[in-house]
Structure 1
């Protein structure tokens, strides 16, 4: 997906996240089913802190080592400040500008625009789930999110000792597009073609949320070697912590 489209999605998903927060309720009393142990206040604080961290990744062009001073701010204020500074940062820095990221192939602002669009979409779903109004992620954004979580997060975060090398590939598929998870000795590798022993397929939003361990995949289909479903689920849980 083009970076300009991802930026628009980020703005929309943040607006939806902010709008779903109850105005007069104590957010600490509302639990988030998809984030065990978190209240809605914890979720909101987390998203705001993530935004502020990415601002420093771009501003400093190195891994930030200091926590921002958030004294006197409640979670909603942290969220609002974080997004305002992030939005301003993305306005001032074009996508090709350098920025520190944890993904070596992409050390630029565009990486963080994409990452924050998907971070916000998934946590918007979490917030909606907490107040019992969950809605899907737009199909095009979800498809891009599947690509990002597999090609960047899964491949980067999972080490060879965490899986069995040589295991038959697992296919993740939405209408018109597939990703194959290949278990190679040096690292996991994602390809667009292959022969899979396990296939997991369905609508893009449901598949992305399943990969993020947000749903049980009620609308997905699992075929072939079903042990592969558990293997990928466990790896994705580790990669998306």
Structure 2
């Protein structure tokens, strides 16, 4: 997906997140079902802190070692300040400008634009689940989210010792495309073609939310070796912690 589109999605998803935050002064009494250890206040503060951290990743072009000063700020203050500074920072840089990231092959501002678009989308879903039922993720955004989740987050986080070599490949299939997870001796590899013993099929939004443990996967279809269903969920749970 083009970076300009990801910026648009970031702004849209942030607006949706902001719109469902209750007016109550104290958000600590509202639980977040998809993150049971968090209150709504924790969720809001977390998203703002993530934004501030990424601002420092770009401005320093190094892994931040200090926590931004949040003295006197409410969770909503942290969120709003974080998003304003994040947008300002993105405006001040080109996507190809250098920035520190945890993904060695891509050390660019564009990496964080993409990451923040999907981070915001998933937490928008969390916020909706805390107050009502969550709405789906747009198909194109969800497909890009699956790309990032599998080909970046999973591949970067999982080492060969964490899975059994020669395990049958897994296919995740949306109406528009497929992702194949290959268990190889040197590394776990993701491609857009192959053969798989385990097939998990459904709308891209349902696939992404299921892999992020934000949905039960009731709208998905599972065929073949069902052991692969547990394998991919366990690996993604590890990769997204």
**Same fold flag (TM > 0.5):** yes
- Partner of 1:150, secondary structure, is helix
Partner of 1:22: 22
Q: Give the whole-Å Cα distance in 2 for the aligned partners of 1:25 and 1:158.
A: 41
2:176 and 2:37 mapped to 1: Cα distance? 37
Structure 2: how far apart are the matches of 1:161 and 1:31? 36
Match of 1:69 in 2: 69
Q: In the alignment, which residue of structure 2 is the partner of 1:103?
A: 103
Is 1:35 matched with 2:38?
Answer: no
Find the aligned partners of 1:186 and 1:51 in 2 and give their Cα distance.
34
In the alignment, the residues of structure 2 paired with residue 25 and residue 149 of structure 1 have an alpha-carbon distance, to the nearest angstrom, of 35
Identify the residue that residue 149 of structure 1 maps to in structure 2.
149
Partner of 1:130: 130
For residue 56 of structure 1, give the secondary structure of its aligned residue in structure 2: helix
The aligned residue for residue 238 of structure 2 is: 238
The structural deviation recorded for 1:24 is 2.1
Q: 4+ residue runs of structure 1 moved beyond 6 angstroms?
A: none
What is the deviation of 1:192?
Answer: 1.0
For 1:211, the equivalent position in structure 2 comes to: 211
Match of 1:94 in 2: 94
Deviates more, 1:69-78 or 1:20-29: 20-29
| Residue matched to 1:223 | 223
Q: TM-score, normalised by structure 1?
A: 0.98
Structure-1 separation of matches of 2:194 and 2:86:
39
Q: CA deviation at 1:161?
A: 1.3
Alpha-carbon distance in 1 for matches of 2:134, 2:175? 23
Give the TM-score normalised by structure 2. Answer: 0.98
Say if 2:60 is the partner of 1:60.
yes
> How far off is 1:25 after superposition?
5.2
* Aligned-partner Cα distance in 2 for 1:176–1:149: 17
Following superposition, the deviation at residue 176 of structure 1 comes to 2.3
SS in 1 for 2:13: helix
Moved more, 181-190 or 120-129: 181-190
Query: 1:199 and 1:36 mapped to 2: Cα distance?
Result: 30
- Which string of whole-angstrom CA distances, capped at 9 and with x for unpartnered residues, describes residues 113-149 of structure 1? 0000000000000000000131111111001000000
Secondary structure, aligned partner of 2:28: helix
Q: Which runs of 5+ in 1 are unaligned?
A: none
**1:133 and 1:190 mapped to 2: Cα distance?**
32
